[in-house]
Amino acid sequence: MDYSRDDIDGLLNDKFRDVAQAEGVYDGPNEDAKKFYNLVEEASQELYPGCTRFSKLSFTLSLYLLKCLHGWSNKSFTSLLELLKEAMPELNIPPSYNKTKSMVKNLDLDYEKIDACPNGCMLFRNDHKDDEFCHTCGALRYIKSPEADSELEPSKKQHRVLAKTLRHFPLIPRLKRLFMCSKTADSLRWHDEERSKDGKLRHPADGLAWKDFDRLHPDFALDCRNVRLGLSSDGFNPFRTMSISHSTWPVMLTVYNLPP
């Protein structure tokens, strides 16, 4: 069992450091411990008898990455898994997209979908999770379709299309993982401990904006481990055609502490 192409063990130790380093036996169920040991077991399972290139977990994550990069539908992903299993019964892979998604979710690589006002006024969550319209502008949460007014099949529940959806990648777990890994934890201090300070502009820390921020917030600047984030956003049409109104606006955070 080699699996030299991936660092799944390192990934699991970064994600579940407290569980991996804990000593003794837990009293009662511990959800993090259960997830950790399940993933460790999957990371140690061969993809098929004699396979040293992939483990079950690393191959599944590689397939899921291809799905995300190339826009495969959930149904097509499940069909691919079923075809692979039918062609190679000894293949040790999840049976469906949902099973794969649960593995990814346990690694904190998942995202949260939140319904939003089409005009960007509010999010339908917490106390407003069941609301049907925006409390600021009155816009409807769902796109109104002709089928909604039809009485042909009153017993059949109509599929409602959301007017707008926010996909949220939680920030705090990702910031924690920066410090859980020794390599990235060292890199977060690079801007203060290893950067060349010869007056040349190579990194945001060499710029005037960085220095002005340090002057205005000396307590924050005192600890070089404090994470500095840059916010950027841009819109694009994911289907490469201007004949439809659908668009996507990613909002991204960049960690400025890291070396170039």
Per-residue pLDDT tens over the stretch 58-77: 898 899 989 988 989 999 99
Q: Are 59 and 47 in contact (CB under 8 A)?
A: yes
User: CA-CA distance, 213 to 253, in Å (whole number)?
Assistant: 18
Q: Are 58 and 43 in contact (CB under 8 A)?
A: yes
Average pLDDT score over the chain: 80
Tens of pLDDT, residues 137-185? 999 999 876 555 555 455 455 678 889 998 888 888 788 878 877 788 8
DSSP 126: G
Enter the pTM of the model: 0.57
